[in-house]
Amino acid sequence: MNLTLRIWRQTGPEDKGRMVTYQVEDVSPDMSFLEMLDVLNERLTLAGEEPVAFDHDCREGICGMCGMMINGNAHGPQRGTTACQLHMRQFADGDTIDIEPWRARAFPVVKDLVVNRNAFDQIIAGGGFVTAPTGSAPEAHAAPVAKADADAAFESAACIGCGACVAACPNGSGMLFTAAKVTQLSLLPQGQPERYTRVIGMVDSHDDAGFGGCTNAGECTVVCPKGIPLHTIGRLNRDYLAATAKHTGRS
């Protein structure tokens, strides 16, 4: 396959940045999207040009490092798939592919397609943890958890923090991430003591980090590679309402 790529190039945080066009030839349909970029980068390196910077780590869809806007789709056209697990067979010979970094004030561009996602760490620092030492994985029957709760908590815990929800959100909101991180703890016994201070703290940190507000537009859940459902945000809302009613929030 021969492809035309239009890639966002930005030398550093201060640079204005621009879309630059590249041609890549002889791309195998069995390559992953990142391997295709590797091919381009090897060619650029040999030609003495600066390779395209992009984040990646596990390349098996579980670490959440890779992530880029591919033709206006977070992680590309295939649903439930990270950019590293996207294969070139999803594209056709002669296609033009636009590649951009996540766009959000809370995710400033470091270089090219690499963004700083520290804002997610700030949200976790706002309460997304259990303070009491809980030791290693508990014995299965020590603290019974209803099957439905365990399933819903696990569904939320599948979030890899890639940032696609923020990238796709018309409001630049990180509420799907925040809701997933609230829910994975609020449904389990270990998360109960701090349940209501946690939700207030995390939503406050989310807002302080410069994310937009959620309007339930639902674009996030469509692009989420882990399929975190939109109603997870409803769980956050319910905890938030309960927390504000109880006045147990951070003062």
Partner 1 sequence: MAVTGLVLVLFLVAHMLGNLKIFTGAEDFDHYAHWLRDLGTPLLPYGWYLWLQRGVLLVALAGHIWAATMLALRARSARPVRYAHRKKVQGSYAARTMRWGGVIIALFVIYHILDLTTGHLNPIGDPSRPQANVVADFAPERWYVTLFYTLAVVALGFHLRHGAYSALRSLGQQTPQGERRARSLALLFAVALSVGYLVVPFAVLLGLVR
Would you tell me which residues interact with partner 1 (CB under 8 A)? 6, 8, 17, 19, 69, 71-73, 98, 100, 103-106, 168, 170-173, 210-213, 215-223, 229-235, 237-238, 241
Element (H, E) at 8: strand 3-9
Enumerate residues 6+ apart whose C-beta is below 8 A from 242: 196
Would you say 66 or 152 has its CB closer to partner 1?
A: 152
The burial class, CB within 10 Å (0-12 / 13-18 / 19+), for 202 is buried
Would you say 62 or 110 has its CB closer to partner 1?
A: 110
The burial class, CB within 10 Å (0-12 / 13-18 / 19+), for 72 is exposed
Give the nearest distance from C-beta 235 to partner 1 in angstroms: 4
Residue 78 has phi, psi (to 5 degrees) of: -85, 130
Would you say 152 or 160 has its CB closer to partner 1?
A: 152
Give the nearest distance from C-beta 143 to partner 1 in angstroms: 22
Give the nearest distance from C-beta 161 to partner 1 in angstroms: 18
Would you say 69 or 84 has its CB closer to partner 1?
A: 69
Q: Are 6 and 112 in contact (CB under 8 A)?
A: no
Give the nearest distance from C-beta 180 to partner 1 in angstroms: 13
Would you say 43 or 90 has its CB closer to partner 1?
A: 90
Between helix 195-208 and helix 232-246 the angle, nearest 10°, is 110
> CA separation (Å) from 17 to 11, 14, 113, 229?
7, 9, 11, 34
Give the nearest distance from C-beta 223 to partner 1 in angstroms: 7
